Structure 1
Amino acid sequence: MADFDLVQFDLDGTLIDSVPQLAEAINDMLTSLNYATQPLSAVRGWVGNGADMLVQRALTATLGHIPDATLQQRARGLFDEAYASHAHGTLVFYPGVLGTLERLRASGKRLALVTNKPYRFVPGILAAAGLEDYFELVLGGDSLTEKKPSPAPLLHVCRKLNVSPARSLMVGDSENDVLAAKAAGMAVAGLTYGYNYGRAIADSQPDWVLDDFAGLVSILKL
Structure 2
Amino acid sequence: MRRYDLILFDLDGTLIETAPEICDAVNDTLTQFDLPTVSQQQVNDWIGHGTRELLIQALAFTGNTTTDTVRKSDAFKLIEAEFGKHYQARCGTRSHLYPHVREVLAELRERGVRLAVVTNKEGRYTQTVIDAHALGPFFDRVISGDTLPVKKPNPAAIHACMAQWSVPAERALFVGDSSIDVATARNAGVAVWALPYGYNMGEPIEACNPDRVIADFSALLTTLAQPAVS
Tell me the TM-score normalized by structure 1.
0.94
Is 2:144 the counterpart of 1:157?
no
Correspondence for 2:23 = 23
Task: Report the 3-state secondary structure (helix = DSSP H, G, I; strand = E; otherwise coil) of the residue aligned with 2:116.
Answer: strand
**CA 1:208/1:174 → structure 2, altered by over 3 Å: closer, same or farther?**
same
Distance apart, 1:136 and its partner CA: 0.4
Correspondence for 2:148 = 144
Distance apart, 1:80 and its partner CA: 1.3
Is 2:188 the counterpart of 1:184?
yes
Residue correspondences, number: 222
Gap runs ≥5 in structure 1: none
- Asked whether the 8 Å contact 2:91–2:132 carries over to 1, the reply is no
Task: Report the 3-state secondary structure (helix = DSSP H, G, I; strand = E; otherwise coil) of the residue aligned with 2:174.
Answer: strand
Alignment of structure 1 residues 89-108 onto 2, 5 Å: 89-108=93-112
1:170-214 deviation digits (Å, cap 9, x = unpaired): 000011111011010100001110000111111111111112121
Is 2:198 the counterpart of 1:194?
yes
Distance apart, 1:2 and its partner CA: 7.4
C-alpha distance in 1 between matches for 2:151 and 2:174: 14
State the percentage of identical aligned residues: 37
Task: Report the 3-state secondary structure (helix = DSSP H, G, I; strand = E; otherwise coil) of the residue aligned with 1:133.
Answer: helix
C-alpha distance in 1 between matches for 2:150 and 2:165: 19
Task: Report the 3-state secondary structure (helix = DSSP H, G, I; strand = E; otherwise coil) of the residue aligned with 2:136.
Answer: coil
Task: Report the 3-state secondary structure (helix = DSSP H, G, I; strand = E; otherwise coil) of the residue aligned with 1:45.
Answer: helix
1:112-168 deviation digits (Å, cap 9, x = unpaired): 111111111222322221211100000110001111111111111212232222211
Gap runs ≥5 in structure 2: none
C-alpha distance in 2 between matches for 1:24 and 1:161: 39
Task: Report the 3-state secondary structure (helix = DSSP H, G, I; strand = E; otherwise coil) of the residue aligned with 1:113.
Answer: strand
Kindly provide the amino acid, as one letter, of the partner of residue 44 in structure 1: N
C-alpha distance in 2 between matches for 1:130 and 1:103: 16
- Asked whether the 8 Å contact 1:8–1:154 carries over to 2, the reply is yes
2:91 to 87, 91, 106: 87
Tell me the TM-score normalized by structure 2.
0.90
Alignment of structure 1 residues 61-80 onto 2, 5 Å: 61-66=61-66, 67-68=69-70, 69-70=72-73, 71-80=75-84
Correspondence for 1:39 = 39
Distance apart, 1:78 and its partner CA: 2.0
- Asked whether the 8 Å contact 1:55–1:75 carries over to 2, the reply is no
Kindly provide the amino acid, as one letter, of the partner of residue 168 in structure 1: A
Kindly provide the amino acid, as one letter, of the partner of residue 60 in structure 2: T
Distance apart, 1:90 and its partner CA: 4.2
Aligned-residue CA RMSD in angstroms? Answer: 1.7
